[in-house]
Structures are given as C-alpha cells and as structure tokens.
Structure 1
C-alpha cells in the first residue's frame, strides 16, 4: 500500500517555552498543499508517521520580515528545532526551484558518465585533499558520532554503496578542486561554482538566524566564522541495488553517522530513503520524506561542540526508499531499488578559526565540555577517520 506523507500543524504562540515533541501526534493531519503561505508562528511536521518530530520552518519571515517580532520568532523556532530534534525542513528560503532542478539534472549527467570519464577527476589517495570523484566503496563511514578518535577505529562491515563528487571553494589552497575536462561535461565547472556560492549565501542567513535565536551578544558571530572557504558541496548518487542486500545488512546506501561540521544543507530527489534517529527513542529511525524544494538542514558535530551540546547533532542514514513504486522487479522476481540522487552542502568555519564553547550556551552550574580547537585541526582528524583504509 502506497504511503502518503501528511502534515501536522504546530502553532507556536510562546516560543520561549520548550518545544514538546512528545505531543506532536495530538494534532490534526493536513494535506501537503497547506504548506504554502504558512506564517512565522508555524512549525509544521511532515511524515507518514504522525509521531515523527521533524519540523518544517517557514524562513521567509526571517529573510523578509514584516516586523522584528516575526523575525525573532522564526529564529527562535529554528533554534528550538535544532535543540530538540537536530533536523529541520526549511521552506521559502529564496533558492529558486529552477536552480535546484538544474543542479539535479547536471548531477545526473555527471554520474551517467562512464567510470573512465569520471576517474578523470579522481579523488586523491588519503584524506588530506577531499575533492573530486569517489567511486563506490572508497569512502568508509565509521560508527562515530563525535570527535572521539577511538570510536572511529572500527570500519563498518557492510558495503557502502554510493559514489560522490566533492567540490569546494576556489579560494581554499589547501583543498584544491579537481575538475573534469570541460569537454567531458560542458558547463559543469562554471555551474557548480556558481551554485556553491549561492548556497553559501543561504548558509550565512541560516547561521545568522541561529545566532539570533541563541541570543548571542553578537548575532552574526557564527556567520562571521564562515567565509564559505571551508564548505563542501557534495553530489551523491546511490546506484540501483538489490533491496535484499540492504535488508540483510550486506550493503548500505549510507550507514548511520553524524556530520562533522557546523550545519549541513541537503536537497533530496523524490526517491526517499533518508532516515534520522528519533530524538526520544535511541536506535529507532524515522523517515525524512522528500519535500520538493525544501532544505533539509541538520546540526553537525562541530556546532554541537560549539554550543556545549545545547544544539543536537543527530545520527542519520540512507536506507531503502519507502514506496513500492520506487523499485523495479527483475524477471527473476528480485526487487531492485531506484537510483537516488542527493546534494548536501556541508558548512564549516574557516580552518584558522578557533572553536571555543560559546559562553551564552553554558548554563548555570555547567562547565565547558570541550577544549578549544582550530577548525582545521578538527576537520583533518575527522577526514582521516572517514578515508582510513
């Protein structure tokens, strides 16, 4: 039976009070079309499971405020979602739908190239330069949810079935981009650089909203640490695979993990399969269904560290797509998954910035849980784990 996602409407009248995710299932379902024209007071929850806590934030009142009150309410709603869930859908973010469609079309063109053509931009050996094309199985995702190196020493036993292409800022000499020849994929270089910088502008607005909602003395403090030079645009392709391999644990589209950086902005195709760990039920995962043109934003480990664990970095994974229409059946009756495409934009501070726990995030009676570290040192450690053979 086909699953239909629905929407739960949560109206926040007093944003200073804690978002109670235990009560999300007590609200009435709405049709998905009612996502349009939501007000700054609203957090919506979209899921086929009415107890799922993944909120949806209308970002337009922050970008185009009619009052300072509506702007602040949106910022506080975003922080509450990050504090209790760690994942949020952001709608009305001002990235044109046509631009996202072009990005997905070019991503598909990239991965439709032959292996030999893609290897013209091969990811270099080791973790020092994280750029270019990674074939399936090159990157190993570890069972690590923090910066504890000991937790990252064990590779997952399952086969990691994805291929990726990593792009960064042209102003980052320590991470030089590795481009395909223009003749192999015309306009790829120019489009992806333009797209990279468009996402960086959106990142700045979201970080400003987080700084505002956290009531930092300088609301732009987080944004000021991010010039865009430390970010990474990743194009992901999960090729078709027998569903039985994932069901039996032989292979995984993406095993459970958390992200390294400050925040991640993710754009999904219609296939689905992204799941996040339930914030109230460790070990249980809930689906983050595709929502057209929405950003799926999540908190990364570094931002959790920065806020003294106030904001939540949540485990997530990519599993089987949820709908029966997203499979094909072979003549032998074997179920094969559809190809899945995803575009995450990983955001991190500039390498020379010292990340120290924010004083505003240390509650009375608490101590700072983490020592200062430069962003560059932190990322080198995490990439070394991800690409350790």
Structure 2
C-alpha cells in the first residue's frame, strides 16, 4: 500500500475535489487521490467539497425530500416498504426499521432491539434495472415529478461515486487503479431520503428512543448529504468508544468506507462506526419539552454488483498482514447484515409525521 501519515484524528478531514477532474498537472490528481486514501485509512470518514453534484441540484433534492415527508401518512403509505429485510425499497415509517451492529437470525433478539424505537422515516430508491430490488414508487398523482427527479439524481450521484472510487484506487497505489470500479456498475446502489422528526430531547438522553444507533455501512462507500442540523458522530479509530462530532459543511459530501471495501483492503481502509444522536445544544428547540429540530439527510450507498465476489486484493496482504477475510458474495453479505433490520411482518404505521 502507499505510504500515508499515521496520526490520531481530532476531526473529519476536508478534501477539495475540484482538481481531481481539472488538474493543473497530473501530480495534483495523484495528490488528491493520496489525500483521500490517507483519510480513508486513518479515519474512514472524509468531507469532500467541490465534488461535482451542484448546490442547485442538492437544494432541489432536499426540497423534494421535504415535500415527500410533509405528505400525510396515508399518502406515503401508498409506497410501503415490503415486509422483511430482503427488498429495501419504498417508504419506511417511524419505528419500522431498526439499525444495529448485531448480526443474528433470532427473532427474539430483534424484538429486544426494537424496544428502543428508531425515530426516523425514510424512502429508498434504486436502479430501475435491479430486478432483485424493485423500486416501490408513489403513484404519480401523489407527488408529480418525484419519480423523474429522483431517478436522474440517483445516476448523478452514481457518476460522482465512480470518480471517488477511482481516486481511492489511485491513492492506494493499486496495480490496477480502476480495479474496485469494475465491480460497481451503479445498478446495486441505493438512494435514501431520511427525515428525523422533532422529538423531546429527553427521550434520546434517557435512551427511550434513538435516531440512528452506532453501526457500520454494509457496502463499499457511502456519500452523505445533510442539512445544517447536526447530530452525526463518528467513532475515533484510535480511541474506541469515543465519538467525534461531524460539523455540517454546506453542500459537502460526507463520505465513509463500508464493510466490503474494508474487506477488499484487508482492513487497510476503515469501515467506521457512526451514529446520529442529539444535535448540538445551540441547534435544539427551546421550551419546556426541549424538542429537537427536524433533521433531513440524503445518504447514497454504493455497493458492488449483486453477484460481485469480494476477496482481499493481493496488494493488501503481506506476511506481516495476512488475509483476514474469506471471499464473500455481495448478495450473501447484505442478507446476513439485514436479518434484523426489518420484521418479517411489519406493524401498522400509526405515527403521522412531517
């Protein structure tokens, strides 16, 4: 692997990606790639600015997200998330999904986890050509133009993700810098619209409810767009159990490494635990109940193609760092991680939010 500076992080690195597409010299492109790879090695998270997804497009995307979540529950339920963890598409109402780092097929374990409700709602979108994950769209008359915009936005995000994967491969000094990219057609990615409705801060402080518990992502990388509310925290790789607050940076991508790219790299790249909790005190509503602000974010999960076989890259295994992982197929890994995420039979949506 390429040499990188080893240092304990105190914040999330910020990388200006503008010279990746328009380098003054080839060496500037390499410098961006090495900076990105170093951040992914030391931290697992990085904020990327000037990444190619325009501020105007992001503003429009968040506008559509707010329109969606402002709908009445009955309207959103015209595109319900399917029962069980196999297909991850459509609308998930507050309390349906349970995020955790626990891997188990025991339904009782899932019930215990669900005793603390995740107070969020989401809408999942994928490629129209992914037959294993068919989209669940709202009827056009419910939100005219939503499907067309989100389909185009999905592929804009995919294009940006491919440039990031190229840069990571170059920064790692892979023999073939485009090796990782070859497993990512874009058809197995997932666009997620997320809304965290206001709730009393005490519910989160007393762990009676959660926003998003600590977890790692299951794919290759994740690109996150977020509003200015705050609340995202990332575990310090050098001090387990210590979480670093991620200060929202307008129009930036917060990019993190997922489990499968960590496996490919034999742990050289870090799939870091992260969570969403209370926003900073200055960003909370005041009042007797101390209500949290509503939070909106748009993660875009980049995964290898469904049948992709993930095995440690030769450059990432040495005598001092032998292979840590057996090969795994993306489909099998996703299903293993998803077992407790959604119940086999979904409870009725009773919470209206927006």
* Corresponding residue of 2:8: 21
* Corresponding residue of 1:360: 315
More off after superposition, 154-163 vs 349-358: 154-163
SS in 2 for 1:208: helix
Q: 1:242 to 1:230 in 2, by over 3 A?
A: same
Q: 1:219 to 1:17 in 2, by over 3 A?
A: closer
More off after superposition, 377-386 vs 252-261: 377-386
| Structure 1 contact 143–151 (Cα < 8 Å) conserved | no
SS in 1 for 2:192: strand
Q: Residue 221 of structure 1 is aligned with which of 179, 185, 188?
A: 179
| Structure 2 contact 284–290 (Cα < 8 Å) conserved | no
| Structure 1 contact 133–166 (Cα < 8 Å) conserved | yes
1:298 aligns with 2:256: yes
TM-score normalized by structure 2?
Answer: 0.92
Q: Give 1:150 deviation, angstroms.
A: 7.9
Q: 1:374 to 1:115 in 2, by over 3 A?
A: same
Q: 1:314 to 1:229 in 2, by over 3 A?
A: same
Q: Give structure 1 stretches of 5+ with no counterpart.
A: 1-14, 23-51
* Corresponding residue of 1:184: 142
* Corresponding residue of 2:68: 110
Separation (CA, whole Å) in 2 of partners of 1:367 and 1:151: 33
* Corresponding residue of 1:158: 116
* Corresponding residue of 2:246: 288
Q: 1:53 to 1:364 in 2, by over 3 A?
A: farther
| Structure 2 contact 83–343 (Cα < 8 Å) conserved | no
Q: Residue 341 of structure 1 is aligned with which of 279, 289, 296?
A: 296
* Corresponding residue of 2:351: none
Separation (CA, whole Å) in 1 of partners of 2:238 and 2:290: 33
More off after superposition, 357-366 vs 64-73: 357-366
* Corresponding residue of 2:349: none
* Corresponding residue of 1:33: none
* Corresponding residue of 1:205: 163
State how many pairs are aligned. 340
Q: 1:196 to 1:368 in 2, by over 3 A?
A: same
Separation (CA, whole Å) in 2 of partners of 1:176 and 1:99: 25
| Structure 1 contact 307–361 (Cα < 8 Å) conserved | yes
| Structure 1 contact 269–290 (Cα < 8 Å) conserved | yes
SS in 2 for 1:166: strand
Separation (CA, whole Å) in 2 of partners of 1:353 and 1:212: 21
| Structure 1 contact 21–53 (Cα < 8 Å) conserved | no
| Structure 1 contact 266–296 (Cα < 8 Å) conserved | yes
**For the aligned residues, what is the CA RMSD?**
1.7
| Structure 1 contact 235–343 (Cα < 8 Å) conserved | yes
Q: Residue 63 of structure 1 is aligned with which of 6, 9, 21?
A: 21
Q: Give 1:294 deviation, angstroms.
A: 0.4
SS in 1 for 2:267: coil
More off after superposition, 153-162 vs 353-362: 153-162
Q: 1:150 to 1:172 in 2, by over 3 A?
A: closer
Separation (CA, whole Å) in 2 of partners of 1:168 and 1:104: 18
1:34-71 per-position Cα deviation (integer Å, ceiling 9, x unaligned): xxxxxxxxxxxxxxxxxx23100111121211111111
| Structure 1 contact 239–338 (Cα < 8 Å) conserved | yes
Separation (CA, whole Å) in 2 of partners of 1:290 and 1:363: 38
Q: Give 1:269 deviation, angstroms.
A: 0.4
Q: Give 1:324 deviation, angstroms.
A: 2.3
Q: Give 1:151 deviation, angstroms.
A: 11
SS in 2 for 1:130: coil
| Structure 2 contact 4–38 (Cα < 8 Å) conserved | no
